[in-house]
Structure 1
């Protein structure tokens, strides 16, 4: 097998694993919960209403409400990603001079997203 084909195969295998593995473990967790509930019902134990409501309601965890502090943190992370891409381009440009502009262009998008989040964090008033 050609070594050049292994990189794209490994890339897509990692993406597939990142998507499938958490779903598999979540499915196993739900299956164990269902077996436990089934055993409790067969023994005639009463089920608490909280358990029934939790099973019938939305299984996804509620998202955290937006806040200025959260926007600032998100913005700082996006800024760091953009600056990191720029630094990577600078490091690579010693060997390949044209790479600097490519990485600066790629890093500009996260930088501007980060600036928008920082602006939102600074302009929004905390809700009390």
Structure 2
């Protein structure tokens, strides 16, 4: 196989692998939480509202939106910085890299917007 085929397969395969890993570990985290609650109930322990709220924070989508938003923003800024650094050597690389950087930046902004909206809903 030539590198014209291997590189795109590796690139898109790595994206699929990353998505699978994130989904798998999120599933495992939720499964562990449910097993913990089930085990506590089976042993006859009383689960107070405060304990349930603390357990719910583990899978809180509002906190997850903030984390994802910050992460995507960081990735976008890193791509933009990479484009500027490569652009010092080859001036034609700046615009395409800024274009690539815009995707995670806008996704990060969307997650930060979801986080802000979720905080407003939780407050009142």
What TM-score do you get using the length of structure 1 for normalisation? 0.53
Indicate if the aligned counterparts of 2:82 and 2:97 stay in contact, CA closer than 8 A.
yes
Q: Does 1:16 align with 2:16?
A: yes
Indicate how the Cα distance of structure 1 residues 36 and 85 shifts in structure 2: closer, same or farther if over 3 A, else same.
Answer: same
Offset of 1:104 from its aligned partner? 2.9
Offset of 1:81 from its aligned partner? 4.3
SS state at 1:44 partner: coil
Offset of 1:55 from its aligned partner? 5.6
Match of 2:121 in 1: none
Indicate how the Cα distance of structure 1 residues 56 and 90 shifts in structure 2: closer, same or farther if over 3 A, else same.
Answer: closer
Structure 1 vs Structure 2 CA RMSD: 3.5
SS state at 1:82 partner: helix
Alignment of 1:1-128 (within 5 A): 1-54=1-54, 59-62=60-63, 63=66, 78=77, 81-91=79-89, 93=90, 100-101=91-92, 103-107=93-97
Question: What is the CA–CA distance in structure 2 between the aligned matches of 1:23 and 1:49, rounded to whole Å?
Answer: 28
Which has the larger share of helix?
Answer: 2
Count of aligned pairs: 94
Give the gaps of 5 or more residues in structure 2.
106-124
Offset of 1:82 from its aligned partner? 3.3
Indicate if the aligned counterparts of 2:86 and 2:94 stay in contact, CA closer than 8 A.
no
What TM-score do you get using the length of structure 2 for normalisation? 0.55
Q: Which runs of 4+ in 1 moved over 6 A?
A: none
Q: Pick the structure with greater CA Rg.
A: 1
Question: What is the CA–CA distance in structure 1 between the aligned matches of 2:39 and 2:81, rounded to whole Å?
Answer: 55
Question: What is the CA–CA distance in structure 1 between the aligned matches of 2:3 and 2:79, rounded to whole Å?
Answer: 30
